Chain A
């Protein structure tokens, strides 16, 4: 089973997101692995463990700092890692998906996984776009993928805990919402070992695509309301909340 996982390196939303012109000030933010990619890597490794095969993780290196994420993927069970050396922090989903699709084409994958979404998917997610560029069907929001022979049984999540199961003939692209198990932990020592010994294959970006979106403005949301902030020490905050709840008959 040849599984390729396409990952996305994105500005961290844990920090402030400064704006420059009509976009994020990419020089002033930390880049992190898209949180859903941890689940797509886990899903791929689980399938490899169940039926054998190879997991290749590939991502666009936007700022020259993708190696950490790739070493982590290796420590978690990926067999091979590839970075597309773009050095373009503003590359949109369409551009990244095109480069990824061109790189993946030659890998003859049985399945391609991507995170179901990323917080900066303003022009849509890379998973369905990779599917379109590779002319493969796409199914997103997956919570479990099992493979037997040439067919995968894919569980897709719907609101309210409803799931739908599909039989999908390989090859296809999936947007992983969650792996059936929480993403495994990789010890720092193992990641370090990978950093010292592993080879990250480099590929030049190939192909052209664009979101076709003209950015007119980027700014914190216009706030119509704001919480009444409770100030003070944690004890004072707790006391005020309890008082509030009691006054409303909620405690």
Chain B
């Protein structure tokens, strides 16, 4: 075993996601405290991997890995972790990291701490703060054993600390990639036609509290009066009340409007990832303990329908 910290980076269309740099920055800090090295792991060819401030970068360069393939990536990461025995393996708690982190944990019988918001070194080991239960509780957990997997929420650490130019060491895939049961077919880009919520200066964003498709109209009316566009949190889109193009958050779009008026959104970490940079955040929610009130600039514990209707009369 070593005291090294691995970061499993992620990329699409030749670009690394912000969370990869965030994790590399944090990994350097952890590795220093643990007396090890921070290594960025890049699974995939066709991408310039000389972009991290890591102590080393390992690039598994194989054409079969150019697009994310959950099965192939998982097997490659498993082989690397088995071979190098790092102390900590960091993933993003993202659409790709979530496919591998818990799988690897069960596969290798090593602990995994998910929804991680912070990681610190304590007594030669690590302690992880996990933002669980929709952001309502933070669990502090200490992984036991030689190796720990940590899956971190995007936006938890500054990205700048991870940016650099460490030359990547290219290696061949440590596992046989023939005979995979999962094959990449194609990438489907979003169809145009709808408004681009990332280009709006004002958004009226609705959450589960809006209650039903029939109530979207009220939000539309309010948005029209404000010169805004209606966006939504994931449950609203999953329920089919608004199209996917309107979704803000981890699996949706990142927005940074001048005004983000939130109606009935509790503020789960996944949603905050997409909107916390908004200039003015106003949240209306009936739950006075909703996590969104820790992030919004202004808030009101009130019935969103009554407030929205009263606003319509005043505008």
Contacts and interface: CB of A to CB of B under 8 A. Distances in A.
B143 interface: yes
B139 A139 contact: no
A237 B253 contact: no
Contacts of B112: 123-124, 211
B114 A121 contact: yes
Contacts of B135: 221
Contacts, number: 289
A117 to B, nearest CB: 7
Interface in B105-122: 105-107, 109-115
Contact of B99 (A97, A122, A140): A140
Interface string B248-260: 0011111000110
Contacts of A166: 69-70, 182-185
A124 B258 contact: no
Interface in B85-118: 94-95, 98-107, 109-115
A175 interface: yes
Interface stretch (B23-31, B32-40, B301-309): B301-309
B137 A164 contact: no
Contacts of B298: 227-230, 241, 244
Contact of B299 (A181, A221, A230): A230
A188 interface: no
A32 interface: no
A137 B70 contact: yes
B158 interface: no
Nearest to A138: B103
Interface stretch (A1-9, A58-66, A68-76, A155-163): A155-163
Nearest to B297: A227
Nearest to B226: A251
Contacts of B235: 35
B106 A129 contact: yes
Interface in A93-146: 93-94, 97, 116-117, 119-125, 127-129, 131-133, 137-141
Contacts of B189: 161-162
Contacts of A123: 102, 105, 111-114
Contacts of B16: none
Interface string B266-308: 1010000000000011111001010111111111111100111
Nearest to A178: B238
B141 interface: yes
B63 interface: no
B84 interface: no
Given A161-B252, A227-B299, A141 B132 contact: no
Nearest to B151: A124
B95 A128 contact: no
The range of chain B's interface size is 35 or more
Given A119-B132, A216-B140, A237-B284, A156 B95 contact: yes
B310 A164 contact: no
**Most chain A CB within a 10 A radius of its CB, from B251, B253, B295:** B251
Given A166-B182, A211-B111, A242-B311, A122 B130 contact: yes
A163 B307 CA distance: 37
**Most chain A CB within a 10 A radius of its CB, from B103, B240, B292, B296:** B103
The range of chain A's interface size is 35 or more
Given A17-B136, A161-B245, A251-B315, A129 B294 contact: no
B159 to A, nearest CB: 16
B190 A161 contact: yes
A214 B128 CA distance: 10
Contacts of A23: 139
B138 interface: yes
B259 A228 contact: no
Contacts of A215: 139-141
Contacts of B245: 161
A37 B183 CA distance: 26
A11 B131 CA distance: 15
A245 interface: yes
A14 B310 CA distance: 26
Interface of A: 11, 13-14, 16-17, 19, 23-24, 35, 39, 93-94, 97, 116-117, 119-125, 127-129, 131-133, 137-141, 153, 155-169, 172, 175, 177-178, 181-183, 209, 211-231, 234-235, 237-239, 241-242, 244-245, 248, 250-251
Given A159-B253, A226-B293, A238-B311, 19 more contacts: A16-B289, A94-B106, A128-B103, A132-B106, A139-B99, A158-B12, A161-B190, A161-B245, A165-B188, A166-B70, A213-B143, A214-B142, A220-B138, A227-B281, A234-B302, A238-B310, A241-B282, A241-B300, A245-B226
Interface of B: 12, 67-71, 74, 94-95, 98-107, 109-115, 127, 130-145, 149, 151, 180-190, 202, 225-226, 235, 237-240, 244-245, 247, 250-254, 258-259, 261, 266, 268, 280-284, 287, 289, 291-303, 306-311, 313-315
14 contacts: A11-B133, A132-B106, A138-B74, A140-B98, A158-B12, A165-B184, A165-B186, A212-B110, A215-B139, A229-B293, A237-B307, A238-B310, A238-B311, A250-B226
